[in-house]
């Protein structure tokens, strides 16, 4: 299992070792101890989600209030997606930057997304199936969105006509989210992460 830090602080790409033979394939796609060595604390497993999307569907950009936020460990178990992570932490050196990682059922990569970052994806195949391990349960009053097609984000979605949910279609722009104080604070995110590290 290989871990690679991406350009956004705290964002980790995970590439598992694949063991295949004529019978099929085996891989360890998540190891709590190995991940904890990299991020400084174990990922608390509070909820697991499964998402199935048709080709061209875009979901996101979603994020949660910090504290407590919601860290995620995401992999694609069927098909392929472009997984997109946006730094929404006001005051971060990389605020507004996005990273795209292809997740698919060939390389079986995963991404670890810490609290305070926005997450979304575009399905590159029909029945693209994502599995999420989450550090906190869903909290509807603490969950928010930024419009995935906002030109200020400049995300290069690989879909001619992205299909959005009504919730994502109605999401505020990045500028509106900043103006209304909706976004997480970078220093608050760092302090929360430090508190998790201390508990370890």
Catalytic residue chosen out of the listed positions 19, 73, 112, 132: 132
Q: For tokens 């400049």, what's the residue?
A: 154
Query: Exposure string (b/e) for 56-74, b if CB count within 10 Å is 16 or more?
Result: bbbbbbbbbbbbbbbbbbb
* 136, 65 contact by CB (below 8 A): no
How far, in Å, are 104, 153, 165 from residue 127 at the CA level? 12, 27, 16
Kindly give the pairing relationship between strand 80-87 and strand 98-104: antiparallel
Active site residue 62: yes
Cα 195 from Cα 172, distance rounded (Å): 31
Catalytic residue chosen out of the listed positions 62, 119, 144, 147: 62
Active site residue 132: yes
* 76, 105 contact by CB (below 8 A): yes
The neighbouring-strand residues paired with 3 are 14
For the annotated catalytic residues, the residue numbers are: 62, 132
């Amino acid at each position: 299992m290989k871990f690679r830090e991406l350009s956004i602080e705290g964002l980790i790409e995970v590439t598992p070792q694949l063991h295949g033979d004529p019978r099929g394939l085996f891989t360890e796609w998540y190891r709590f101890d190995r991940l904890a060595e990299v991020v400084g604390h174990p990922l608390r497993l509070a909820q697991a989600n499964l998402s199935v999307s048709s080709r061209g569907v875009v979901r996101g950009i979603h994020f949660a209030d910090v504290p407590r936020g919601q860290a995620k460990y995401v992999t694609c178990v069927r098909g392929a997606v472009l997984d997109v992570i946006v730094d929404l932490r006001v005051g971060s050196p990389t605020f507004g930057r996005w990273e795209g990682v292809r997740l698919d059922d060939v390389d079986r990569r995963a991404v670890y997304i810490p609290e305070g970052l926005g997450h979304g994806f575009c399905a590159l195949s029909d029945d693209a199936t994502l599995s999420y391990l989450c550090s906190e349960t869903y909290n509807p009053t603490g969950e928010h969105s930024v419009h995935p097609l906002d030109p200020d984000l400049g995300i290069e979605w690989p879909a001619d006509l992205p299909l959005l949910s009504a919730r994502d279609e109605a999401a505020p722009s990045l500028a509106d989210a900043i103006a209304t104080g909706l976004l997480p604070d970078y220093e608050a995110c760092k302090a929360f992460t430090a508190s998790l590290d201390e508990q370890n």
